[in-house]
Amino acid sequence: MGGRSHGNPFSAVLSGLLDQRSNEARVTPVPSDVRLDGRTCLVTGANSGLGKATAIRLAKRGAHVIMACRSGIPEAGEDVKRQSVNDKVEMMQIDLSDFESIDRFCDELRNRNVTLDVAVFNAGVVPATSRTNKHGLDLMFAVNFVAKFVLLDRLLRAGVIPNAVYGNNSRADDPPRVIFVSSETHRSSIPIDFDHFGEPVEYGISDGVKYYGLSKLHLTTYFHELSRRLNQGVDGSPDVCVHALCPGAINSNMAREAPAWLKPILKPVMALFFQSPEKASLPVDYLVVSDEMGRKTGGFMHMMRMKESSEASMDPKKGALLWSKTEELLRTQGVL
Ligand SMILES: NC(=O)c1ccc[n+]([C@@H]2O[C@H](COP(=O)([O-])OP(=O)(O)OC[C@H]3O[C@@H](n4cnc5c(N)ncnc54)[C@H](OP(=O)(O)O)[C@@H]3O)[C@@H](O)[C@H]2O)c1
């Protein structure tokens, strides 16, 4: 399964179907009576698909849920409140392709003295063809990877996510959890091009999936490096539990930019064979709620199975290089 091709839309759909039929050992979902009362959970991209289903799940457990969204305000929040029967659900605006928007979002959390117990970095995008954001970065690279780096940098420095590395109220006895929604497509990605790091590339619909996989390889490599950096020298329990997952193929809005000719094929295939967002949110829930994942860091799940992410993504040398190249890029952008 590890090397299965995701190079084009058809192989990606086929791979999603095959993954659902795998009979590798799965973890057991956390019972619904395990509560998150008094906990504050951030979910990005929570107006749609997996993010919304995750927001509903966490709100049903009693959490205060902050839905960080670009659109769907306030309707999606009202719907999450209604479905979870929990009023402690709020929406905050953020455009993850815009560094100024990320800064405004973090400033607001800091000014309100919010402390996050859980942060689920779910939002992602698959444009039909390559395009750049207002900072001149490839949109998929920016939203699927760089935005997470910047958002986390701000939240950790401000102590909105308590941690020891930035000297902000380490809470090793009750570590916060940071969860990244990645994708199995990171396994079959082309390697990260460190020599042309951050330079926009051109792609169309046929090779968009390849660059989507690359954006998820950036994210998965970053997730391991973040986990290592936040938990240096930790022998026992981690200071911040950092985990990632691939939710498997979801019948969501992810293919919204697929070309008109492909939609009549994709829609019924997705509706028939792909998981519902509710089912796909089970592994996110597991990473957020289970005792097991609160005692360790660096865990990767593919649907309800624990497994290692790709070898390349776990390589500490690549992780360190990715970190320094991203910092360099963000310095040239005036963001760091
Ligand atoms: N669908 C799959 O088969 C699949 C498989 C593996 C992994 N995933 C991953 O699962 C995650 C959730 O995707 P989904 O399937 O639930 O798709 P979705 O329904 O399209 O949800 C994507 C979410 O990301 C948000 N988003 C996109 N660009 C943004 C931006 N610039 N600023 C803020 N929010 C932005 C979207 O907001 P708007 O509605 O405002 O655009 C939406 O809330 C993604 O990371 C995706 O890569 C999906």
Q: Which of 48, 214, 301 to mutate to test the pocket of ligand 1 (most atoms within 8 A of CB)?
A: 48
- Residue 28 backbone phi and psi in degrees, to 5: -90, 135
Whether 250 is in the pocket of ligand 1, judged by its Cβ within 6 Å, is: yes
Ligand 1, closest atom to CA 53? Answer: 16
Fold of the CATH domain 34-331: Rossmann fold (3.40.50)
Whether 140 is in the pocket of ligand 1, judged by its Cβ within 6 Å, is: no
Ligand 1, closest atom to CA 50? Answer: 16
d(CA 200, CA 198): 6
Q: What is the pTM of this model?
A: 0.95
In this structure, the strands spanning 300-302 and 305-306 are: antiparallel
**pLDDT at residue 82, as a whole number:** 98
Q: Tell me the chain's radius of gyration from C-alpha atoms.
A: 19
Q: Show pLDDT as tens, one digit a residue, over the chain (336 residues).
A: 344 555 555 665 666 667 776 777 899 999 999 999 999 999 999 999 999 999 999 999 999 999 999 999 999 999 999 999 999 999 999 999 999 999 999 999 999 999 999 999 999 999 999 999 999 999 999 999 999 999 999 999 999 999 999 876 778 789 999 999 999 999 999 999 999 999 999 999 888 889 999 999 999 999 999 999 999 865 678 999 999 999 999 999 998 988 888 889 989 999 999 999 999 999 999 999 999 999 999 999 999 999 999 999 999 999 999 999 999 999 999 999
**pLDDT at residue 3, as a whole number:** 47
Beta bridge partners of 42: 66, 119
If you measure from the C-alpha of residue 48 to the centroid of ligand 1, how many angstroms do you get, rounded to a whole number? Answer: 7
Nearest CA to ligand 1 atom 8: 183
Nearest CA to ligand 1 atom 17: 254
Whether 9 is in the pocket of ligand 1, judged by its Cβ within 6 Å, is: no
**pLDDT at residue 238, as a whole number:** 94
d(CA 34, CA 38): 13
Q: Which of 125, 211, 300 to mutate to test the pocket of ligand 1 (most atoms within 8 A of CB)?
A: 125
Return the domain boundaries, the chain. Answer: 34-331
Q: Which of 254, 269, 279 to mutate to test the pocket of ligand 1 (most atoms within 8 A of CB)?
A: 254
Contact assessment for residue 203 and residue 212, using Cβ atoms and an 8 Å cutoff: no
Q: Buried (b) or exposed (e) across 139-168, using 16+ Cβ within 10 A?
A: bbbbbbbbbbbbbbbbbbbbbbbbbbebeb
Residues with Cβ within 8 Å of residue 50, at least 6 apart in sequence:
122, 181, 247, 250, 252, 277, 280, 281, 284
Evaluate the CA torsion angle 47, 96, 147, 314 in order and state its sign.
Answer: positive
Whether 249 is in the pocket of ligand 1, judged by its Cβ within 6 Å, is: yes
**pLDDT at residue 2, as a whole number:** 42
**pLDDT at residue 1, as a whole number:** 37
